[in-house]
Structure 1
Amino acid sequence: MLQLESAKCSFLFCLGICIFICSVIYFKAKSGDAPRALSRSLSCHPFPNNCQALPPSSSSTRWQRTSCREFSYLEGPLNCSWMQTELHFIMEPLSTEEEDYPLAFVITIHKEFEIFVRLLRAIYAPQNVYCVHVDNRAPDDYKASVRNLVGCFPNIFLSSVSEQVTYAGFSRLKADINCMEDLVRSPVRWRRVINLCGQDFPIMSNLELIRYMQGAEWRDRNMTPGIKQPKYMQHRTQIQHVEIKGVYVVPKGLKKNFPPHNLQIYFGTAYYALTRAFVKYVLNSSVAKDLLEWSKDTYSPDEHYWVTLNHVKEAPGSNIGGEWEGNIRAIKWKDQEGTAHQGCKGRYIRDICIYAIDDLPWIIKKNSMFANKFESTSFPEALDCLEQWHRHKVLQQAMVPIQLSWQLATEVNISSVTVAG
């Protein structure tokens, strides 16, 4: 009898141990489904009163964020379906018009992981394709987080070759070209490619981008705004420069040879929207390859390379007589204060405005394709407000039923919020 009782106790003890071990394994596996860095939730506080960009609410309601997660690095394995929902990605085409006109994006980043996530979800559509170039000198945990995130999307990938990017250096131009070489091998038959940096944010919706680029002015033409190189800019390409990787570009003092193929050098923006045929021309033509080689020891070659090739008659989609046309970026340059704009409400860095919330009315009225620049630490309200304005517009234009997870904010009753608080 005692032996039976002893055996029974041993059995129950072993059973308890097994249940405990299985429970630990289960809950550990379950917690591993979600990225650990997103497990801490922030309170959903209302938008600031001066968020003029938001669609108006009634006197008894206000907008409140549904996107309340803390953005940090994405650690460990991800449950991609959970992550896509939690981060409010739109996972189906919003119209046939957009589905039939896929876009390609080149995104170069090195910091501000939060802004990258918010930029990516703002421009993401499953019919498009995205090449992300992460600076070689970015921290390992940053690279790992980007890798984890893009691994959850079949149409987003990391550039196969990563450059150590230097401000105004050839490496910045090469990062874009590396992505272009990857994009032409993509199974997605994209129609145009747009380049972005990690501190950009869209003003137009995906549908508006397509309609703008397919309008009468830009149909089958590249958008690379610029003019013949002014005299005060000629030192950039007439004097040899040396790129100190990851630090700066300095002049060597030696005079450069003339541009290949007797090309007229232009000066313009580093931002573009290019046709697929033009990209193939850039990657394969001797004119483009020779100009690229010649540009290696110039200053900020991305500000002359694209616009110069776009003035070559033989280049597909070229714009021979083009100048500054093309509403690609809303940028407040310091030297344009009082003419193009009435000052930066945030602060200038390298003579470019880091936007504050009071800059948003100017940005929205300008209605460019994208705006530059934003920081999540300096003026977080500006991005909060613009992001909701943009998502609200995107969902209003959608031709499919709206899923709850696509919303970044909802209109709530003020009295119920007060009672709940």
Structure 2
Amino acid sequence: MNQLDATKSGFLVCIGVCIFILTFIYLRNTFSKESSEQKSFPDTSECGFYPDELCSALFMGKSAAPQIGHFCQQIIHQPEMSDCIQTSCNCSTVIKSLHFITRPLSEEEGNFSLAYIITIHKELEMFVKLLRAIYLPQNVYCIHIDEKSPQDYKTSVQSLVNCFENIFISSKRENVVYAGFSRLQADINCMKDLVNVKTQWNYVINLCGQDYPIKTNKEIIQYIKSKWNNKNITPGVVQPPHMKHRTHLSYKEYVHSGTSYVYPTKNLKDDPPHNLTIYFGTAYYVLTRKFVEFTLTDVRAKDLLEWSKDTYSPDEHYWVTLNRLNGHYIRDICVYGLGDLQWIIESPHLFANKFEPKTYPLVMDCLERRYRLKVLQQAEVPLEPHWYFQENNHFNMKLNV
């Protein structure tokens, strides 16, 4: 090797060493800064047990840094509510520790009661999040628990319900099969119970356990009063050709050893009773009390219910078809899909479906915190301390009943 080659080699080695040293210093400073930032995050905030900046970024449609997301997942992880379900505790403590609102928040809301039908079968934590979001003492709530649900789940729900005079379990439970008649029957069962309660509710709204409200109770009432007073909200259209198999063939439910489904037979169905035109839409609704009483007593409603027993997903045609008999039809409620927080809070709809807090805990917790703050900001009465979610104890979500 000549002197020139040796000089070149030495120069390149020197360059390489310098690059390595500079890279090491940069990476060390970067990780040190990130570590310092993570350690400086507050334990609690208005949005939950994680940095408030993270929720703000999510509501603005910005993505969060991976390390912050990981940090939050660790912080907000909470024990299952069912873990403490057997611990003896009085109802007053349960209501306060779970942050249930215990008084009407305005005169308008106090004079306009809503009824809710909630069908559930799993995920106690999500059910409690939904219930406490929509709960107010002037409303009434019928809870239908799938008969196939585990006994410990039923016991947990019953323990919570026992703490409230205006919440009850449906007097008759169904083995609910997805897209089967049993899903529709579950709502009918609750309606039969609701018409006999003392509370003179104005409208009934049906939900499943993985729904969550976008609008507050006050906003829902004002929405109903301003646009749809004495009318039903049941979106739908004339049954499309590609959906006709749902009502032209006879279907049966299969339930055995934890497996359940709906399957078609080779039998053709008769035409709908009373020459009714079948409409197709969503299974979700907001119905007047008068319409519910009509559903339970009118011969056409009863005959259509009987005819629908062997159809596919009858809850998607039953309500909208009956509503056409009353001449009221609206296509503006219920959005399907998790979406992102920015899209959800900007949506004009009343509720969104569906949420899975075990899969996306950050989305659910941020939305829940924001929703409660919005509710309290709209309140026209003095606020109770336990209505706020901010607590020093990270595990205040335990259900100690």
TM-score of the aligned structures, taking structure 2 as reference length: 0.78
Counterpart position of 2:17: none
Contact 1:78–1:148 under 8 Å retained in 2: no
- Whichever of the two has the greater Rg, that structure is 2
Counterpart position of 2:63: none
Displacement of 1:409 after TM fit?
3.2
1:115 and 1:48 map into 2 onto residues whose CA distance is 22
Counterpart position of 1:383: 364
Displacement of 1:241 after TM fit?
0.5
Residue 228 in structure 1 maps to residue 238 in structure 2: yes
Counterpart pick for 1:301 among 311, 314, 339: 314
* Helix, strand or coil at the partner of 2:325: coil
Displacement of 1:50 after TM fit?
3.7
Residue 398 in structure 1 maps to residue 379 in structure 2: yes
Counterpart pick for 1:157 among 155, 168, 173: 168
Counterpart position of 2:298: 285
Runs of 4+ residues deviating >3 angstroms:
47-50, 52-55, 67-71
Residues 16-415 of structure 1 mapped to structure 2, 5 A cutoff: 44=44, 45-47=49-51, 49-52=53-56, 70-73=79-82, 74-215=85-226, 217-245=227-255, 247-313=260-326, 318-319=327-328, 322=329, 325-326=331-332, 328-332=333-337, 355=338, 359-409=340-390
Stretches of structure 1 lacking an aligned partner (at least 5 in a row): 1-42, 56-63, 333-354, 412-421
Could you list the per-position Cα deviations for residues 171-230 of structure 1 after superposition, in whole angstroms to 9, with x for gaps in the alignment? 000000000000000000000000000000000000001011111x31110000000000
Contact 2:59–2:341 under 8 Å retained in 1: no
1:125 and 1:286 map into 2 onto residues whose CA distance is 35
2:336 and 2:165 map into 1 onto residues whose CA distance is 32
Contact 1:88–1:408 under 8 Å retained in 2: yes
- The number of aligned residues is 327
1:189 and 1:408 map into 2 onto residues whose CA distance is 31
Give the share of equivalent positions with the same residue, in percent: 52
Displacement of 1:254 after TM fit?
1.1
Q: Which amino acid is 1:376 matched to?
A: P
Q: Larger relative contact order (C-alpha < 8 A, sep ≥ 6)? A: 2
Contact 1:224–1:268 under 8 Å retained in 2: yes
TM-score of the aligned structures, taking structure 1 as reference length: 0.74
Contact 1:164–1:171 under 8 Å retained in 2: yes
Stretches of structure 2 lacking an aligned partner (at least 5 in a row): 1-42, 61-71, 393-401
Contact 1:48–1:381 under 8 Å retained in 2: no
C-alpha spacing 1:47/1:168, structure 2 compared with 1 (3 Å): farther
1:113 and 1:205 map into 2 onto residues whose CA distance is 22
* Helix, strand or coil at the partner of 1:189: coil
* Helix, strand or coil at the partner of 1:312: helix
Contact 1:330–1:363 under 8 Å retained in 2: no
* Helix, strand or coil at the partner of 2:341: helix
